[in-house]
């Protein structure tokens, strides 16, 4: 990385230290995610593109490497490279609607 | 601690927010022009908004001891209407000379349309012509990666643009490296849901921290937190980062970028 800042370079931490700081936060978020999937299960109809995108991201959580966030954001991104003619909405939904 | 809020939409915040920011150590606030949450129908609406940004809001901030600066533009969400955009672009030069204007922003893209691209290019021309800094809004969520690429390509293609005078805001884990590698500054926006949380921001900083990164809350009329930057600083402290490194990131970095505008005064020097 060009022009490194003194904050750069992850300080050496043990996994215990990371868990001490952030385990409870991750725990409640994982339970919230599980609850969301359960809630979908109890609802009717098919998954829309957002939920499909979310389900496709779940296996990434179990992959190795320290770039899961970037991988998920790439998965959900519009892969095209040219401007579109006109927008049919002002807002984004969180997952590219064309994701198969 | 002390910090700069380099991106806050204070016209949509209350005086309680100003007070909370001042108490948390805020030393200056910079406010880009943006979408009001609804489409303005005429250039007159923007004229009044620019008056609010350059005249009224600095007075409101001053009551809390906070210097207030602003950026001017028509935002990409309203740029789809090319006639309106042309009228607003024509208004900007009469406000550029105001003593608290830092540059042109937040310009960029929203849904990555052809019209948005055209208006983005016209804003870049205006900034180059008037030797102004540029603050770029990158699109939301699934549109961000493509939009960031389109924006940085246009900026790179313009011979009058110096990347060190441009900040690309709202970067996330999948866009930060490309922005920094091309010589631009990168802004990490702290939002409770979209964009980055303070915890993810500090992860990004530990992986990518550069002398060309700033943090901002982009607090506005939506779900956002005007004291998100000091909260991220608290996260850095909790992880064992030194007070000097934190200060250099949340105060030093924005001061270095913003000082490229002759209108910005280092708050430290004002005391
Ligand atoms: Zn903004």
Residue pLDDT, tens place only, B79-110? 999 999 999 999 999 999 999 999 999 999 99
Residue A81 has its nearest CB partner, among B77, B146, B249, at B146
Cut 0.90: pTM above it: yes
CA distance to partner chain B, nearest, from residue A41 (Å)? 24
Determine the pLDDT at residue B82.
94
Whose structure tokens read 């091309």?
B182
Encoded tokens for A94: 């969180």
Distance CA A51, CA A48 (A): 6
For chain B, helix, strand, coil in percent to 5 are 50, 15, 35
What is the whole-number distance in angstroms between the Cα of residue B33 and the centre of ligand 1?
Answer: 7
Encoded tokens for B85: 């955009």
Give backbone dihedrals phi and psi of B147, rounded to 5 degrees, phi first: -65, -40
What are the tens digits of pLDDT across the range B192-214? 887 799 999 999 999 987 899 99
Q: What is the CATH number of domain B3-270?
A: 3.20.20.140
Closest Cα in chain A to B203: A10
Residue B149 has its nearest CB partner, among A2, A7, A81, at A81
Determine the pLDDT at residue B230.
98
DSSP annotation of A84? B
Give alpha helix (H) positions in B92-227: 93-96, 114-129, 144-157, 176-181, 198-208
What are the tens digits of pLDDT across the range B118-173? 999 999 999 999 999 999 999 999 999 999 999 999 999 999 999 999 999 999 99
Q: How far is CA B267 from CA A7, A20, B23, B44, B220, in A?
A: 23, 37, 16, 33, 23
Yes or no: say if B123 and B151 are a contact pair by the CB < 8 Å rule: no
Domain-wise residue ranges, chain A? 14-45, 48-79
What are the tens digits of pLDDT across the range A35-85? 999 999 999 999 999 999 999 999 999 999 999 999 999 999 999 999 999
What are the tens digits of pLDDT across the range B22-78? 999 999 999 999 999 999 999 999 999 999 999 999 999 999 999 999 999 999 999
Domain-wise residue ranges, chain B? 3-270
CA distance to partner chain A, nearest, from residue B209 (Å)? 5
Asked whether the ipTM of the predicted complex exceeds the cut of 0.90, the reply is yes
Residue B156 sits at the chain A interface (C-beta within 8 Å): no
Residue A6 has its nearest CB partner, among B112, B115, B245, at B245
What is the whole-number distance in angstroms between the Cα of residue B172 and the centre of ligand 1?
Answer: 15
**A-B interface: how many C-beta pairs under 8 angstroms?**
130
């Amino acid at each position: 990385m060009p022009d490194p800042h003194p904050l750069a370079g992850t300080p050496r931490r043990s996994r215990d230290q990371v868990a001490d700081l952030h385990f409870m936060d991750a725990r409640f978020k994982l339970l919230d995610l599980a609850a969301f999937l359960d809630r979908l299960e109890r609802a009717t109809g098919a998954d829309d593109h957002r939920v499909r995108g979310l389900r496709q991201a779940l296996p990434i959580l179990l992959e190795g490497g320290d770039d899961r966030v970037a991988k998920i954001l790439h998965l959900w991104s519009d892969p095209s490279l040219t401007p579109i003619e006109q927008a049919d909405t002002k807002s984004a939904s969180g997952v590219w609607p064309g994701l198969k | 601690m002390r910090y700069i809020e380099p991106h806050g939409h204070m016209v949509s915040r209350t005086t309680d927010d100003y007070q909370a920011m001042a108490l948390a150590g805020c030393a200056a606030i910079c406010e880009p022009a943006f979408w009001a949450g609804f489409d303005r129908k005429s250039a007159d609406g923007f004229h009044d908004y620019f008056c609010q940004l350059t005249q009224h809001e600095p007075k409101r901030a001053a009551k809390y001891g906070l210097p207030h600066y602003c950026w001017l533009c028509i935002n990409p969400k309203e740029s789809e209407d090319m006639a309106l955009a042309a009228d607003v672009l024509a208004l900007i030069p009469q406000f550029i000379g105001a003593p608290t204007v830092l540059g042109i922003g937040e310009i960029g893209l929203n849904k990555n349309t052809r019209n948005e691209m055209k208006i983005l290019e016209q804003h870049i021309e205006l900034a180059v012509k008037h030797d102004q800094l540029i603050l770029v809004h990158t699109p939301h969520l699934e549109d961000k990666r493509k939009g960031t690429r389109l924006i940085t390509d246009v900026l790179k293609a313009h011979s009058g643009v110096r990347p060190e005078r441009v900040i690309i805001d709202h970067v996330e884990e999948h866009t930060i490296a490309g922005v920094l590698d091309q010589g631009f500054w990168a802004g990490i926006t702290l939002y409770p849901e979209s964009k980055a949380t303070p915890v993810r921001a500090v992860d990004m900083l530990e992986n990518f921290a550069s002398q060309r990164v700033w943090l901002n809350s982009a607090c506005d009329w939506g779900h956002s937190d005007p004291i998100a930057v000091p909260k991220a600083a608290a996260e850095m402290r909790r992880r064992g980062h030194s007070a000097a490194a934190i200060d250099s990131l949340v105060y030093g970095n924005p001061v270095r970028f913003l000082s490229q505008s002759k209108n910005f005064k280092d708050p430290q020097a004002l005391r």
